[in-house]
A and B are shown apart, each in its own frame.
Chain A
Amino acid sequence: NAGVTQTPKFQVLKTGQSMTLQCAQDMNHEYMSWYRQDPGMGLRLIHYSVGAGITDQGEVPNGYNVSRSTTEDFPLRLLSAAPSQTSVYFCASNPRTGPGELFFGEGSRLTVL
């Protein structure tokens, strides 16, 4: 099992560009979520999904979109990148039976110039 796989690992964008961070899990977990990690602020929840076709906002959703068409995939879209979105992004998954351990990917480091 690969667990949670995130791509790309590194990305540099210019202000106003759009991009999608990919996340896939092979553990058949119902729940998936996206966090961003910034120095001194821990991890903050951006969006989460409790199953295919169901998504909801977390603490810091502005500027991001998500969709969940399959159990395995949960992409995060930046519509118009801003320097404030420079961060390390982590995707996580956990099973419905809880409370469940969150399994994190290795992160995607995004820099917006």
Chain B
Amino acid sequence: QQQVKQSPQSLIVQKGGISIINCAYENTAFDYFPWYQQFPGKGPALLIAIRPDVSEKKEGRFTISFNKSAKQFSLHIMDSQPGDSATYFCAASGMDSSYKLIFGSGTRLLVRP
């Protein structure tokens, strides 16, 4: 049973557009929610992370929105660029067990010039 569900599986966006990726989790014990970005042939790298005591976190063009009551969180990429084309994974864990991340299934983003 997948504890973190991610959608969509793939996403095509025009340059300058907004990319939105959604995740839902089941385990209410999760209290750390990172997003990882992966380029082909490379390992995932941390993009941005949020804790449930805030509803939104922004870093540059990347924003996480968090809805604790709905057990959902999403990644918004503003002004999407071709260099953002990658696979994005949401994940969840307990604050004291971030070495045991539960990952979503991934979203392959393609930003067209």
Contacts and interface: CB of A to CB of B under 8 A. Distances in A.
Interface in A89-109: 90, 92, 94, 98-102, 104-107
Interface in B70-113: 89, 93, 95-96, 98-106
B31 to A, nearest CB: 9
Given A104-B45, A106-B43, A99 B95 contact: yes
A105 B93 CA distance: 20
Given A43-B89, A90-B43, A90-B44, A102 B98 contact: yes
A42 B98 contact: no
Interface in A27-43: 31-33, 35, 40-43
Chain B interface size, under 10 / 10 to 19 / 20 to 34 / 35 or more: 20 to 34
A63 interface: no
Given A40-B105, A42-B103, A102-B36, 14 more contacts: A4-B43, A42-B4, A42-B89, A42-B104, A42-B106, A45-B100, A50-B99, A59-B102, A94-B99, A98-B95, A99-B32, A104-B43, A106-B41, A107-B43
Interface of B: 4, 6, 9, 32, 34, 36, 41-46, 49, 89, 93, 95-96, 98-106
Nearest to A49: B99
Contacts of A43: 44, 89, 101, 103
Contacts of B93: 99
21 contacts: A35-B103, A40-B106, A41-B105, A42-B6, A42-B103, A43-B101, A44-B103, A48-B99, A48-B100, A58-B100, A59-B102, A94-B98, A94-B99, A99-B32, A99-B49, A99-B95, A101-B34, A102-B36, A102-B46, A102-B99, A106-B43
